[in-house]
Amino acid sequence: MGKKIRVLIVDDSAVVRQTLADILSSDRGIEVMAKASDPLIAAEHIAREVPDAILLDVEMPRMDGLTFLQKIMSQHPIPVVICSSLAESGSDTALHALEYGAVEIILKPRLGAKQFLEEARIRICDAVKAAAASHVRRRVSFGPRDVPPKLTADAVLAKARIGQDAMLKTTEKVIVVGASTGGTEALKDFLMALPLDAPGVVIVQHMPENFTTAFAYRLDSICHISVKEAETNDTVIRGRALIAPGNHHLLLKRSGARYYVEIKEGPLVSRHRPSVDVLFRSAARYAGPNAVGVIMTGMGDDGAKGMLEMKEAGAVTIAQDEESCVVFGMPKKAIELGAVDKVLPLSSIAAAVMREGNR
């Protein structure tokens, strides 16, 4: 079995702590090292023994989760998974935690149908395993990124014309992107580097429902292109990125010269919903050589088989390199499968996508 992953659970609810402990203990590769009701008690545990990963709530007494996370990432970086509720008001705080260095967001488990509890177990255990395998770095600054200037009226009109022109072309390129652990920050860097006339982008980022709305809104406020949470029948146009809503699959479709997306429910695919494989397979079918596929940081193999189908359909396929990945799992599996044309550092992917998108 090898060494077990030691996890510290930090949550002010005794019920949540015990539920998480029961879920994690059901996996033979995970061991609950300790449970703490607040960050100060957690700090005492860390002083005695450093865990491989921390499950951290964001709202707690004595010290909030974000402050504790900042202290961890600036002093002694440890992989942190944020365990948050579905509350809309909490989604923005959880996204800040990702910016501050947390590697993943999961939903707090709640009682429900057997299928829901089993899916929660899979997601929580997978998130902890991904965190333990991640490469976290010390953070010394937690300030906001430079925000690009707001679009002028002329630029807005130009953006609209670009979208209309895209509708008329049958060879218009479509960029499809898949990411998981570490992907929120990778996607931010990638999308901020895209210019206004970038080909339409369709994204699956493994993230719980309700958080993708805030995530898309945040990206839209700092990127040159527009970013929104995808809805069924949204048209894929230049200058816009569509992000799969949490807990729903996202498919690329085509009607004549128009690319659009469809939101679907359904079972987990490659242990995920949304699944990168679902998006990539639809891109292979409906876009073929007009697609450019990008697979980014993440644990597991979601997207590898779908990317191979894209390559076989004539698409250009790109994987993020190991050095710039938080977890070199998904890109590695795609590379091993022979599904990748180019392996690039994160900082080079946007330029490569623009070269391919304008051919």
Does 180 or 172 have the greater pLDDT score? 180
Q: Which of 96, 206, 224, 248 is catalytic?
A: 206
Distance CA 228, CA 80 (A): 27
Answer yes or no: 76 catalytic: no
218-230 residue pLDDT tens: 999 999 999 999 9
Query: Of these residues, 85, 180, 282, 324, which one is catalytic?
Result: 180
- Indicate which residue of 37, 282, 302, 324 is catalytic: 302
Residue 74 has pLDDT above 80, yes or no: yes
Minimum mean pLDDT among 14-28, 104-118, 168-182, 276-290: which range?
A: 104-118
| Residue 84: per-residue pLDDT | 82
Q: Say whether both 174 and 321 belong to one domain.
A: yes
Residues 160 and 210 in one domain: yes
Per the structure, the complete domain to which residue 208 belongs is given by 153-357
302 is catalytic: yes
Last residue of a domain, one of 82, 98, 133: 133
pLDDT tens for residues 227-264? Answer: 999 999 999 999 999 999 999 999 999 998 899 999 99
> What does the pLDDT average to over 17-32?
94
**Is 242 inside a domain boundary?**
yes
180 is known as an active-site residue: yes
Tell me: do 160 and 241 sit in the same domain.
yes
Would you say residue 140 has pLDDT above 80?
no
Residue 349, in any domain of the structure: yes
Between 5-19, 157-171, 184-198, the lowest mean confidence (pLDDT) is in 157-171
Q: At what angle do helices 346-357 and 183-192 cross, to 10 degrees?
A: 50
* DSSP, residue by residue, 203-266: EEE---TTHHHHHHHHHHHH-SSEEEE--TT-B--TTEEEEPPTTSEEEEEEETTEEEEEEE--
pLDDT reported for residue 119: 83
Q: Do 123 and 162 share a domain, yes or no? A: no
- How many domains is the chain built from? 2
143: in domain: no
Are 268 and 348 found together in one domain?
A: yes
Average pLDDT over residues 336-346: 98
